[in-house]
């Protein structure tokens, strides 16, 4: 079951359409898309080691209106049940500004609330900075998409 | 008066729990001041103040998930109903020529004759570009419980 859910998640990520707004730095944009994909997969695997490499130590993560540190985020992922949350990524836009990149996109999230399945759609914005070990995620946050906006 | 307000804002900058990448207090102070200008633009209905702060490629994810551009923000400022903005907390993380500024603001205003108060969390990305800081992306969400 866990494997099936993982495969579905991975396929959903792999099926991402090509962005309609490419940056002028194609290689950086491609690297960041790959990291975004790695992030989702690592989260689904509860793979804290992979996440540790992707997330900057000073990550600022806004989740449900709260600020969460890298340590808090990793702690939550470590103990969460991946079967309870399924994330399907939608097309994303990557804009590269030298050693900084902004990723904007949306995802669908299926989880349980009070034991009942719930489907929600979120818009996210992620900030990546190129550091000595490569691109690192320094800020991330999402807001629930209301009224099925595009 | 403005200096006092800025000093108060700086005093509120509390990086506890989020270690700073570098300790460049001058740059952090500039960013806090610019964030202050940004919020005051809504009170003063002054889109010109934002012209040079927002990069042309700026995008912001609003609390309802809507994605807005620089032009949208400038239009929003022109018709703002905000009468007061209080910066409740702010923290700056510097990463070379990139900075993440996060905090909580309380916006008070009057819309259709009714007063309102909205507390939101923001996370903004700033870039040092052509000799000045400009913001390239932002996120606003309601403050969680």
Percent of residues, chain A, with pLDDT higher than 70: 78
Q: Which residues of A74-84 are buried (b: 16+ CB within 10 A; e: fewer)?
A: beebeeeebee
Report DSSP state, residue A1: -
Q: Is A124 helix (H, G, I), strand (E, B) or coil?
A: strand
pLDDT along chain A (150 residues), means of 10: 42 38 70 94 88 96 90 85 77 96 94 84 96 96 78
CA distance A20 to chain B (A): 15
Strand partners, B125: B100, B137
- Would you say residue B109 has pLDDT above 60? yes
CATH code for the domain in which residue A124 is found = 3.10.450.50
Residue A9 lies in a domain: yes
Structural domains counted in chain B: 1
Tell me what pLDDT residue A148 has.
57
User: Which whole-number Å values give the CA distances from A49 to A53, A70, A137, B34, in the listed order?
Assistant: 7, 12, 15, 37
Region B105-121: mean pLDDT is: 95
CA distance A32 to A14: 14
Smallest Cβ distance to B64: which of A104, A142, A143? Answer: A143
Residue A6 lies in a domain: yes
> For chain A, what is the total number of helices (H) and then of strands (E)?
4, 6
Q: Decide if B11 touches A, using CB distance below 8 A.
A: no
Q: Decide if B18 touches A, using CB distance below 8 A.
A: yes
* ipTM, 2 dp: 0.83
CATH code for the domain in which residue B133 is found = 3.10.450.50
CA distance B86 to chain A (A): 18
> In a mutagenesis test of the A interface, which of B23, B67, B99, B120 is the best target, namely the one with the most A β-carbons within 10 Å?
B67
Mean pLDDT of chain B: 86
pLDDT confidence bin for B20, thresholds 50/70/90: very low
CA A83 to chain centre: 17
CA distance B65 to A144: 5
pLDDT confidence bin for B65, thresholds 50/70/90: very high
A23-27, A100-104, B71-75, B98-102: lowest mean pLDDT where?
A23-27
Tell me what pLDDT residue B87 has.
95
Phi, psi at A28, each rounded to 5°: -65, -45
Name which of B27, B104, B18 is nearest A139 in CA terms: B18
3-state secondary structure chain B: CHHHHHHHHHHHECCCCCCCCCCCHHHHHHHHHHHHHHHHHHHHCCHHHHHCCEEEEEEEECCCCCEEEHHHHHHHHHCCCEEEEEEEEEEEEEECCEEEEEEEEEEEEEECCEEEEEEEEEEEEEEEECCEEEEEEEEEEECCC
- Would you say residue B33 has pLDDT above 90? yes
Tell me what pLDDT residue B2 has.
43
Q: B140 or A81: whose pLDDT is higher?
A: B140
Tell me what pLDDT residue A95 has.
96
Residue in chain A closest to B101 (alpha carbons) equals: A60
CA distance A139 to A68: 10
A3-12, B45-54, B107-116: lowest mean pLDDT where?
A3-12
Q: What is the extent of the structural domain holding A35?
A: 2-144
Tell me what pLDDT residue A78 has.
77
List the alpha helices (DSSP H) in chain A: 2-14, 26-44, 48-54, 70-79
Residue B87 near residue B72, CB atoms below 8 Å: no
pLDDT confidence bin for B104, thresholds 50/70/90: very high
Residue A142 near residue A63, CB atoms below 8 Å: yes
Tell me what pLDDT residue B11 has.
38
Positive/negative CA dihedral, B133, B137, B141, B144: negative
Contact B93 A60 (CB under 8 A): yes
Residue in chain A closest to B20 (alpha carbons) equals: A58
Q: Are strands B82-95 and A116-131 parallel, antiparallel or unpaired?
A: unpaired
Structural domains counted in chain A: 1
Q: What is the extent of the structural domain holding B90?
A: 2-142
Determine which helix (DSSP H) or strand (DSSP E) holds A147, and give its type and residue range.
none
């Amino acid at each position: 079951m866990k494997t099936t859910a993982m495969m579905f998640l991975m396929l959903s990520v792999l099926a991402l359409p090509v962005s309609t707004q490419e940056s002028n730095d194609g290689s950086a944009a491609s690297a960041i898309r790959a990291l975004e994909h790695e992030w989702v997969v690592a989260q689904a695997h509860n793979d804290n080691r992979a996440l540790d490499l992707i997330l900057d130590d000073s990550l600022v993560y806004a989740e449900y209106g709260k600020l969460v540190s890298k340590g808090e985020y990793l702690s939550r992922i470590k103990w969460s049940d991946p079967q309870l949350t399924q994330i399907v990524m939608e097309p994303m836009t990557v804009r590269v500004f030298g050693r900084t990149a902004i990723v904007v996109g949306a995802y669908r999230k299926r989880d349980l609330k009070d034991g009942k399945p719930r489907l929600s759609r979120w818009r996210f914005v992620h900030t990546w900075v190129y550091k000595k070990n490569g691109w690192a995620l320094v800020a991330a946050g999402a807001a629930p998409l209301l009224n099925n906006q595009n | 008066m403005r200096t006092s307000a800025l000093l108060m804002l700086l005093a509120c900058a509390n990086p506890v729990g989020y270690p700073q990448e570098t300790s460049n207090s001058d740059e952090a102070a500039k960013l806090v001041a610019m964030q202050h200008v940004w919020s005051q633009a809504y009170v003063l209905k002054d889109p010109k103040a934002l012209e040079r702060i927002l990069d042309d490629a700026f995008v912001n994810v609003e609390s309802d998930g809507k994605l807005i551009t620089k032009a949208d923000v400038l239009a929003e400022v022109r018709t703002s109903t905000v009468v007061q903005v209080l910066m409740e907390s702010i923290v700056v993380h510097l990463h070379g020529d990139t900075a993440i500024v996060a905090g909580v603001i309380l916006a008070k205003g009057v819309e259709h004759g009714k007063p309102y108060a909205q507390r939101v969390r923001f996370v903004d990305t700033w870039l040092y570009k052509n000799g000045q800081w400009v913001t390239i992306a932002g996120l606003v969400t309601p403050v969680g419980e």
